[in-house]
Amino acid sequence: MTIVVHHLENSRSQRVLWLLEELGLAYEVERYARDPKTMLAPPELRRVHPLGKSPVIEDRDGAAAGERGRVVAETGAIVEYLVDRADGRLGAPTRRDDALRYRFWLHYAEGSMMPPLLLKLVLSRLPLIGKRAVARVQPMIDRHLDFVEAELAQRPWFAGEAFTAADIMMSFPLEAARHRAGLGESRPATVAWLATIHARPAYQRALERGGPYAYAR
């Protein structure tokens, strides 16, 4: 199996590289740079998927030479696809409560936590009204950060005692929050969790494959 990751710098696709390293699956990286003025993905990504966003992967297993492989978009869908291709490794734990937590965090990362973080980023770039609007968004982010802190204070990983793909999904919103949304030493369990994932050998290998990543610190 050869997976091609269409990787946009400083984006959610870093999680896909990390997952592939953790799973030990063979993959290639096609890198894309953001437009320096708009910070948006380049139009070349639309040749891979109509939305022109990253991450997108191609599974070229079984594809003829010159043909595009199976295209999978959306980080959560990609994570589930790769876990399935790896025979369930890093997927839902066997204990029912842990499995429920796994599914919750897998979807919470993009469905609940990322929207206010993205909203803050967009508003912070607006003149005049941006600062006042950001002040209203930050309490929503703080509620999420407090929730995450309370959960990580009870267990080492999001699903329970074992590292899973849910931890990989949660990495980007928490890295973004650390970078620009107030996640600091007042939430020690979350900060310690970030330090732990950043020290994982597979995470470091993914950084080497993906290139500069502003949120890794």
For 65, counting Cβ atoms within 10 Å of its Cβ (0-12 exposed, 13-18 middle, 19+ buried), the class is exposed
| Average predicted confidence (pLDDT) for the chain | 93
State which amino acid sits at residue 210: G
SS3 labels along 18-79: HHHHHHCCCEEEEEECCCCCCCCCCHHHHHCCCCCCCCEEEECCCCCCCCCCEEEECHHHHH
What's the first-to-final CA gap in the chain, in angstroms?
A: 32
Q: What is the pLDDT of residues 50-74, one digit of tens each?
A: 999 999 999 987 666 667 789 999 9
Alpha carbon distances (Å) from 146 to 25, 103, 151, 153, 157: 35, 20, 9, 11, 16
Residue at token pair 């993959």: 27
Q: What pLDDT score was predicted for residue 188? A: 98
**97-152 confidence digits (pLDDT tens):** 999 999 999 999 999 999 999 999 888 887 777 778 888 999 999 999 999 999 99
Q: What is the mean pLDDT of residues 20-36?
A: 94
pLDDT of residue 22: 98
Counting Cβ atoms within 10 Å, is residue 112 exposed (0-12), middle (13-18) or buried (19+)? middle
Domains in the chain, CATH or no CATH each: 3-90+202-210 (3.40.30.10), 96-200 (1.20.1050.10)
* pLDDT reported for residue 37: 84
pTM: predicted TM-score of the whole model, two decimal places: 0.93
Check: CB of residue 4 under 8 Å from CB of residue 60.
yes
Per the structure block, which two tokens stand in for 75?
């980080």
Region 179-203 average pLDDT: 96
pLDDT score of 169:
98
Q: Which residues, 6 or more positions from 87, have their beta carbon under 8 angstroms from its beta carbon?
A: none
144-165 average pLDDT score: 98
**pLDDT score at 40:** 83
